[in-house]
Structure 1
């Protein structure tokens, strides 16, 4: 005859459930706090620019789950190079005929200024209604951090 196993007391079951719930809640708080820190950084230091949609796709974790929607965008992330581009401006009197030539030279120098590093990033789209508004090769407004271009959000109206 084998000795019977003692059942686990109910208090241990409830304690285990409580610890599991506390762990899950702490993970959600951590992720929410990280997201809110990124939003705060984007509001303070974010750069708004135009990006081009290179791909749109959705994925599902399982057959029963709702799909997640994504877009990949391309943009130039070092926009500070446009501000610091050195243009040789000749000091020419407005009264001379050379002012038109000097203005043209200034515009050509701005055209040759570097655009920055081309970056490709993925953006999560929260709903299908927003997802279906876009097509590949559309331009969208985004906000990103120049120090870390992987922190990026779609600017919605």
Structure 2
């Protein structure tokens, strides 16, 4: 299919995710496998993971990378802004983003995709990169499609 760090076709990655999650019904397992899949196959990333909504704030979920911030208020940082605006945030240079939360000093760019389950914000997919301008419109479209597949499986899970 493809080698680590060699994603050229998000359709293949998204098909792999759909097959990986099929027949399973545990949300934490879904998030863990999804973060692992992205971390393994995306190049130039240093953190891939999820934050889920708990007590009206984002709570750290399954991830790949260095230890991260445990809670993020809605509206704060890139992740919190993605939730408050309910839209994907693509940040070319995190140091230029007002209120950026620096969990890993090596992160220079970021993409955050909100996840909706059963009509409500469930959390976010968060990916950081150690280079500026890592994420483009192709990444955004591919990762939003990835999130849509994940959302479908999360809705069917417990």
TM-score (norm 1): 0.25
Structure whose alpha-carbon radius of gyration is higher:
1
Name the structure, 1 or 2, with higher relative contact order (CA <8 Å, separation 6+).
1
TM-score (norm 2): 0.25
